[in-house]
Amino acid sequence: METKESTILKKNENTFPQTPYYLIDESKILNIMKRIQYLREKSGVRAVLALKCFSTWPVFSLMNQYMDGTTSSSVYEARLGFEEFGKEVHAYAAAFSENDIADVKKISDKIIFNSISQLKTFHDEVKGLEIGLRVNPQVSFSHYDIADPAKRYSRLGEKDYESILAVQDLINGVMFHYNCENDDIENFTATLDKISEKFSDLLYKLNWVSLGGGISFTSDDYPVDVFAAKLSEFSKKFDVQVYLEPGEASVLECAQLVTQVLDIVHNEKDIAIVNASIGAHKVDDLVYRSEAFIEAHAENGDYEYIIAGNSCLAGDIFGHYKFKTPLKVGDVVNIENAASYTMVSKNWFNGLRMPAIAIKRIDGAIDVVQRSGYQDFKKSLG
């Protein structure tokens, strides 16, 4: 599918925008795409990009050469996948409205319902499409309670096996999303074995099974051949097409948030305030209370700073760092890991300047694909 050139503000300009901006490195994305391609070839799985994690569509024309399509959490994401990525469109939502179904059914190959009640309500309306049900396998891997889909009272997927078996004739596939940043192949293997055993009667009757996202298979030291063998064994055993829905693994370490120091204040420690905010421009780190990674800090120098954001939130802090040289006003501070769950969740908190989005293309050209200004802030509120 073609990128809409008209909406790319400045093409091949070879200059960076003013800070703050997100900088996506296409060469890094390509490197990850080759890892995904390798897994697909070795295991027969199909990989659909989880748009909830990364939706910056001006790089989709690169990604769609190596992936099989997209999966979504809403009608708008499904539509973006359909318009800009192409290939397979999987539509899922925690709950669809009637209007949602009318919209997604026109553009989706698969509709995955989160509950048996939604499956029954909308089944007749989406007949002819591949229909799936999300199952909560009651096993999961997550370092964070907030991201654990199998936690107590979870609304994400059905867990009562008898009730699921009772509607098996209405579905061709199921989705289990039960991992978050799972880098432990032994855990993955053991958990998949449990799922295979518990749900075997159902699995033998299906055409496809999605194992969701949350598996760190594109990381450098991940045993990808063992992973591929396990997926292919599962697929052969049940004669199903296996899907993965990588979000973070598709764009791991592929972007930075480029900021500049606006001021340095002191309160027991030196605090450098940069022209971006964790709450507005790197929300995930705030939600998970994780420290943002700053490359210069890895040098473990003698100059300690708290890097803080420019909003009014007292907790707007990227983290504590040790730099090799002292910071001064105007210095550039690159905040790493800014591809996954960042651009999709940026917001206008405090009316702060919105970071532009720039892409370093494989040939080195810089495309600034998004710039927002005061009018966009105003328009978002009235």
Ligand X SMILES: Cc1ncc(COP(=O)(O)O)c(C=O)c1O
Positions in the binding site for ligand X (CB under 6 A): 50, 52-53, 92, 177, 180, 212-214, 245-249
Cβ–Cβ contacts within 10 Å for residue 345, how many?
A: 15
Contact 298, 324 (CB under 8 A): no
State the minimum distance, in angstroms, from the CB of residue 49 to ligand X. Answer: 9
> Based on CB atoms, which residue is closest to ligand X, 131 or 356?
131
State the minimum distance, in angstroms, from the CB of residue 51 to ligand X. Answer: 9
State the minimum distance, in angstroms, from the CB of residue 213 to ligand X. Answer: 3
> Based on CB atoms, which residue is closest to ligand X, 52 or 105?
52
> Based on CB atoms, which residue is closest to ligand X, 179 or 275?
179
Nearest one of 256, 316, 193 to 24, comparing CA atoms: 256
State the minimum distance, in angstroms, from the CB of residue 7 to ligand X. Answer: 26
State the minimum distance, in angstroms, from the CB of residue 61 to ligand X. Answer: 21
Virtual torsion, Cα 90, 84, 52, 164, nearest 10 deg: 0
Q: In whole angstroms, how far apart are CA 352 and each of 141, 230, 258, 306?
A: 36, 47, 15, 20
Element (H, E) at 279: helix 278-281
The CA distance from 50 to 70, in Å, is: 6
> Based on CB atoms, which residue is closest to ligand X, 213 or 309?
213
Find the distance separating the first CA and the last CA of the chain, reported in whole Å.
Answer: 33
State the minimum distance, in angstroms, from the CB of residue 39 to ligand X. Answer: 14
> Based on CB atoms, which residue is closest to ligand X, 101 or 251?
251
State the minimum distance, in angstroms, from the CB of residue 259 to ligand X. Answer: 24
> Based on CB atoms, which residue is closest to ligand X, 47 or 354?
47
Q: In whole angstroms, how far apart are CA 170 and each of 106, 116, 159, 233, 244?
A: 19, 10, 17, 26, 22
User: Could you tell me where the beta strands, DSSP code E, fall in 32-161?
Assistant: 46-50, 69-72, 88-92, 110-113, 130-134
> Based on CB atoms, which residue is closest to ligand X, 213 or 355?
213
* Helix axis angle, 224-238 to 26-43, nearest 10°: 40
Q: Which two tokens stand for residue 115?
A: 């509950």
